[in-house]
Amino acid sequence: MIKIISLLFLLLTIFHISPAYATTYYISNSGNDNNNGLSPVFPFKSLDKLNSVIKLLKPGDVILFERNGFFAGQIFLNVSGSEKLSIIFAAYGEGRNPVISGSMQLKNWSQYRENIYTSDVNYPVKNLFVSGEQMILARYPNTGFLTIKSEVQNPKTGFIDNSLDQPKNYWKDANVRMRTTNWSYEHTPVKNFDNGRITFLNPTLYPANKGWGYYLDNKLNELDAGKEWYYEDKGDSTGIVYLYAPANVNPNSVYTQGSIYPYGIFSNQNISNIIIRELKCMNQYEYGILFTGKSKSNIRIENCTFSGQINGGVSILNPSYNFEIINCRFYNINGKALYILKAENSKVNSNVIKNTGLIPGYGMNSEAQNNSSLIVMYSNSNIVSYNYILNTGHDGINCVGSNNIVEKNIIQYLMLKLNDGGGVKGYGNVNTNSAYRNNYISHIIGNNDGTAGSYSNIVVTGIYLDEHSNNMKVLNNTISESNNYGIFLYNNCNNNTISGNISYNNKVGINFF
Alpha-carbon torsion angle 329, 331, 336, 337, nearest 10: 0
> According to the model, what pLDDT value does residue 254 have?
97
Residue 22 has pLDDT above 70, yes or no: yes
Residues 259, 125 contacting (CB under 8 angstroms): yes
Residue-wise pLDDT for 301-345, tens only, equals 999 999 999 999 999 999 999 999 999 999 999 999 999 999 999
Task: Report d(CA 459, CA 421) in Å as an integer.
Answer: 7
Low-confidence winner among 15-24, 267-276, 430-439, 474-483 (lowest mean pLDDT): 15-24
Alpha helices in 15-133 (DSSP H): 47-54
> According to the model, what pLDDT value does residue 370 have?
67
Residues 301, 314 contacting (CB under 8 angstroms): yes
Residue 17 has pLDDT above 50, yes or no: no
Give the domain ranges of the chain: 104-257, 377-513
> Regarding predicted confidence, which is higher, 14 or 497?
497
Task: Report d(CA 37, CA 88) in Å as an integer.
Answer: 15
Task: Report d(CA 162, CA 195) in Å as an integer.
Answer: 7
Looking at the DSSP bridge assignments, the partners of residue 432 are 402, 470
> According to the model, what pLDDT value does residue 4 have?
43
The sheet that has 388-392: what strands, in order across it? 70-72, 99-101, 280-282, 305-307, 329-333, 352-356, 388-392, 410-414, 440-444, 478-482, 502-504
Residue-wise pLDDT for 212-241, tens only, equals 999 999 999 999 999 999 999 998 889 999
HSE-CB of 393 using CA atoms within 13 angstroms: 25
In the predicted model, what is the mean pLDDT of the chain?
Answer: 94
> According to the model, what pLDDT value does residue 136 have?
97
Residues 64-73: what's their mean pLDDT?
98
Percent of the chain with pLDDT over 70: 95
Residue-wise pLDDT for 431-457, tens only, equals 999 999 999 999 999 999 999 987 878
Residue-wise pLDDT for 483-501, tens only, equals 999 999 999 999 999 999 9
Residues 19-38: what's their mean pLDDT?
91
Comparing C-alpha atoms, which of 372, 380, 381, 324 is closest to residue 348?
Answer: 324
HSE-CB of 159 using CA atoms within 13 angstroms: 28
- Specify the amino acid at residue 436: Y
> According to the model, what pLDDT value does residue 222 have?
97
How far is CA 334 from its chain centroid?
6
Alpha-carbon torsion angle 321, 324, 325, 327, nearest 10: 170
Exposure letters 103-141 (e unless 16+ CB within 10 A, then b) = bbebeebeeeeebbbbbebeeebbbbbbeeebbbbbbbe
Residue-wise pLDDT for 156-204, tens only, equals 999 999 999 999 999 999 999 999 999 999 999 999 999 999 999 999 9
> According to the model, what pLDDT value does residue 15 have?
40
> According to the model, what pLDDT value does residue 455 have?
80
Residue 129 has pLDDT above 60, yes or no: yes
How buried is 153 (Cβ within 10 angstroms: 0-12 exposed, 13-18 middle, 19+ buried)?
A: exposed
> According to the model, what pLDDT value does residue 409 have?
98
Task: Report d(CA 190, CA 82) in Å as an integer.
Answer: 48
Neighbours of 306 (CB within 10 A): 29
Residue-wise pLDDT for 353-393, tens only, equals 999 999 999 987 766 556 889 999 999 999 999 999 999 99
Residue 2 has pLDDT above 90, yes or no: no
Q: Is the entire prediction scored with pTM above 0.85?
A: yes
Exposure letters 186-197 (e unless 16+ CB within 10 A, then b) = bbbebbebeeee
The sheet that has 110-113: what strands, in order across it? 110-113, 116-121, 239-244, 228-233, 136-137
DSSP secondary structure string for all residues of 254-313: S-EEEE--SEEEEE-S--EEEEEES-EEE--SSEEEEE--S-EEEEEEES-EEES-SSEE
Residue 1 has pLDDT above 50, yes or no: no
> According to the model, what pLDDT value does residue 454 have?
78
